[in-house]
Structure 1
């Protein structure tokens, strides 16, 4: 199995921050939507490129992903995962695509396991119990699929992702 070291990247730091912030009057911090929902934290609206104030939610974060994928300046290979300053009324101005870095030189058997994990993440892993309930927006598949196929074909030649949707 693959897992981040120490129980999660930044997990302990976020727990320490969570303990410190409630006692700091007027303190402002940033945490992902999952943390905001889990700890019932207050969240404020941010002003987006079109001047709308938008509160982060699964819907507005998914809209940010859709807006990024329709933006011709957003790179096909996702080498800029931050999606911000995009157009739209319900588009959250500060979101990102989560990503994995996968070496193309892994041994064959390891790459087969990586492929299984990627396929799971892009299909069953998009179910709301793994996304929405944990503060993540499911991937917007229609505009995403051609880009995913390019990436997967580069990583795993001849292995286009043949899925219609996640979940």
Structure 2
């Protein structure tokens, strides 16, 4: 009996050692989900011993690094289009891992309730047409609110950013002038503004500058104790970003099998209009360079956990939990991962 137990214990330890042989993974990209990813990866290390090093360098850099194969996975708040993928050396899969909202955060001393914004007002601020907080267009949608007549300091991203893409995607849907003059991309030719790197950089500019406005992921506004405004949605309602209204933006939307979809400017009356998925990007076939099958399996295990057990950390950190239908499609895509053509 003792001999059998000893052999069994040895086998169990061998299996555990093999499962933990790959103890580190690297990722880089979007700052939008970084607070959530930091928590997820810390919890994953506790559970498995696998260390995940994720660099919050912006979606543009994440897209570049996955195409250059310098990381195990990239992070981006906008899924890459076919045009953006055409120079990739092999097929890249993109799966959503969470949802978030881009909010107009501002620094206006003395205000006690959130301001209202329309898409047109936000577009005109970022086009440089509205220059002060005392502008009649702002006053009209904030009746009864005394707003300090400060000049507006516009804060925006200086790096390639998925948060920029989501914000610009929304503005292009509500402002024909924005669509024609500025457009939608990770990096833009901005008409006005002070540039800062990352969501944390823009939040820092807003926090330190009375009269400033900047677009940031909601979690960064809350972490920095920044006021942020309610945004008028397509149904005409002013919606303050929160987990529920952000998640509602994905309801009723046809999610394609490849999960690449824009959910800004939702038609739902209960949806926050500047909502988005945040994506992880990886190669469908993992056998490239000097990658081992163990690395590939470790990556698949991590992503599978993020789509299942890891979702419990989203809402407490002010992110939206993936709807069941979206998570199911993401898992289907993950299950197409191969190593040298062999299914993992």
Structure 1 pair 133/12, CA: closer, same or farther in 2 (3 Å)? farther
The runs of 5 or more residues in structure 2 that have no matched partner are 1-24, 30-53, 59-195, 288-292
TM-score, length-scaled by structure 1: 0.76
Alignment match of 2:256 (pick from 55, 71, 75): 75
RMSD: 2.6
The equivalent residue for 2:248 is: 63
Structure 1 pair 23/146, CA: closer, same or farther in 2 (3 Å)? closer
Structural mapping, 1:67-146, within 5 Å = 67=251, 70-72=252-254, 74-80=255-261, 82-107=262-287, 108-127=293-312, 130-141=313-324, 143-146=325-328
Secondary structure at the aligned position of 1:46 is classed as strand
Q: CA deviation at 1:16?
A: 3.2
| 1:4 correspondence with 2:187 | no
CA contact (8 A) 2:311 2:321 kept: yes
| 1:34 correspondence with 2:219 | yes
> How many residue pairs align between the two structures?
151
Per-residue deviation, residues 9-44 of structure 1 (Å, max 9, x unmatched): 249533333332234343221111111111111111
C-alpha distance in structure 2 between counterparts of 1:89 and 1:147, whole Å:
26
Secondary structure at the aligned position of 1:31 is classed as strand
Q: Which moved more, 1:54-63 or 1:20-29?
A: 20-29
Q: Kindly name which structure, 1 or 2, has the bigger radius of gyration based on alpha carbons.
A: 2
TM-score, length-scaled by structure 2: 0.40
CA contact (8 A) 1:45 1:55 kept: yes
The runs of 5 or more residues in structure 1 that have no matched partner are 160-167
- Which protein has the bigger strand share? 2
Alignment match of 2:205 (pick from 20, 25, 29): 20
Q: CA deviation at 1:146?
A: 4.4
| 1:152 correspondence with 2:176 | no
C-alpha distance in structure 1 between counterparts of 2:205 and 2:327, whole Å:
42
Q: Which has the higher contact order (CA 8 A, sep 6+)?
A: 2
